[in-house]
Structure 1
């Protein structure tokens, strides 16, 4: 008879996942925020495939139709815009571009900023100073003003918007990563790896990066909300994504002339922005506690009390 040994890494991964799930269940606000964000993500993925025709179909007889009027169908529960298009369908479809811009900008800035921060924190002083001066140059310009100038010069497309917003957020991840690396490189486990002959690349990616990653993910979750608000601001100013493409910020801008007699045109997409931003902030606070061994006991105590 042969005995099968259990898959230790797989069991450890499942145990870690169950622990995080239990801590998420202990924080009900974070749990509700996670559920809401999952719904938004599903809308961004499935919405354009299912509701694109309905969101672009015009009906001038139903222009500025008030909300909660179900005589026109479920899609008009939030009302209709100035061209008679259902707001609910348009909000669901607009989630794709809004989430795409925010996720693309955060991902690009996280990857580039973290890579430069690792180099600046673990390399020789000359290269580190050059990278930090680059970050200072980027930070010397107000992020929104830089985006306005660049988008006036270039076409306001999704790609250009992601690039501009990503550039403005790189210094945040660069400075955070460098500060973490400068502190971690002096710890005993790094010195032990050096004594054992580990290469600089192995030390950075095997020993330092896993310690820095939880902090970067927490910042990225919070930064996602900031980038989404920045995209909404640019769209509200008329230099973001242009029709026929649509985002929540553009919907708020399009409803601005009708605020006195059709408030729902700007209210519902604005509410979607507020709820998504609030959910991201709540989830970021939960991640900051859950990924910090010094504060994790709060959630674990809440789990035991439940």
Structure 2
């Protein structure tokens, strides 16, 4: 057997691992439906603006506040029209891009920064750890809403500034979690063996510690994605978040608030999108918490074997 074949795992083993994950996901119907819902939302966010951008922005005052399920004005008005006669269905799909962009950008940025500082704080000496943790304490000492109001007031409301604000407020969560995980992992035998063999600090962190911490961070990021969505919606609802011509689900809820008495669908449909997407993320994070934990994964695998 050649050295290359030893270094690379057999393709059949990779397929078997993927099939096992898909089987565990299929057996948990709530998690499976959640994945389908999230894939649909991300597909709308990716393709929606290109396909329905003009339809979502063109105004038609004859169709303003059109009731839902009235197809006399076309299929696009199946969910009704807004105060400027724009179809709600196209607006919801169009707004998915900005909503997902803000949530994904904030989560990814806070995950990278928080995990990096958490790895350093957990692995390096006490002095470095204390400095980093005090910075996290400073961020956590300010209410996240106050930070958002100040930053957005100074820099102005925009998608980039919204990502910056939400990412700053979420960094301490990943930092503290990563540090706690590293403090436990670094005492394990394989890490001590790598230190004795003379491996560099960054090699130990990247090759031996990070893979052990990553499943926990991925699970938290999935759950945090839902929290960031709600935070963005709250800020947009208060009027200090995304501003027109950009549009998010939270901004649509805010714009539909004055019409709750005579056009409830203006706020109901974007609110329903927020609830469904957040619920799907929570259900998926619960499944990932078990699936990514080797100590608990056997529960899903055993369930799959029993059902078969």
The TM-score bracket by the shorter chain reads: over 0.9
Q: Structure 2 unaligned runs (5+)?
A: none
Number of the residue aligned with 1:82: 83
Q: Distance in 2 between matches of 1:267 and 1:234?
A: 18
Number of the residue aligned with 1:221: 222
Number of the residue aligned with 2:257: 256
TM-score using structure 1 length: 0.97
Q: Distance in 1 between matches of 2:254 and 2:290?
A: 37
Q: Distance in 2 between matches of 1:8 and 1:290?
A: 21
Structure 1 residue matching 2:246: 3-state secondary structure: coil
Number of the residue aligned with 2:172: 171
Q: Distance in 2 between matches of 1:149 and 1:138?
A: 14
Deviation at 1:302, TM superposition (A): 2.1
Q: Distance in 2 between matches of 1:269 and 1:65?
A: 16
Q: Structure 1 unaligned runs (5+)?
A: none
The answer to whether the 8 A contact 1:26-1:300 is kept is: no
Q: Distance in 1 between matches of 2:83 and 2:216?
A: 45
Corresponding pairs, count: 304
Number of the residue aligned with 2:41: 40
Number of the residue aligned with 1:100: 101
Number of the residue aligned with 2:110: 109
> Structure 1 residues 9, 148: CA separation in 2 closer, same or farther (over 3 Å shift)?
farther
Number of the residue aligned with 1:60: 61
Q: Distance in 2 between matches of 1:187 and 1:95?
A: 44
Q: Distance in 2 between matches of 1:12 and 1:142?
A: 48
Deviation at 1:303, TM superposition (A): 1.2
Number of the residue aligned with 2:241: 240
RMSD: 1.5
Structure 2 residue matching 1:92: 3-state secondary structure: helix
Q: How does 1:114-153 map to 2 (within 5 A)?
A: 114-153=115-154
Deviation at 1:5, TM superposition (A): 5.8
The answer to whether the 8 A contact 1:121-1:177 is kept is: yes
Of the structure 1 ranges 290-299 and 88-97, higher mean CA displacement relative to structure 2 is found in 290-299
TM-score using structure 2 length: 0.96
Deviation at 1:236, TM superposition (A): 0.4
Number of the residue aligned with 1:20: 21
Number of the residue aligned with 1:205: 206
Number of the residue aligned with 2:267: 266
Q: Distance in 2 between matches of 1:34 and 1:193?
A: 38
Deviation at 1:148, TM superposition (A): 1.5
- Summarize deviations over 1:194-224 as a string: whole Å, max 9, x none: 1222121111110000000000000000000
Number of the residue aligned with 2:197: 196
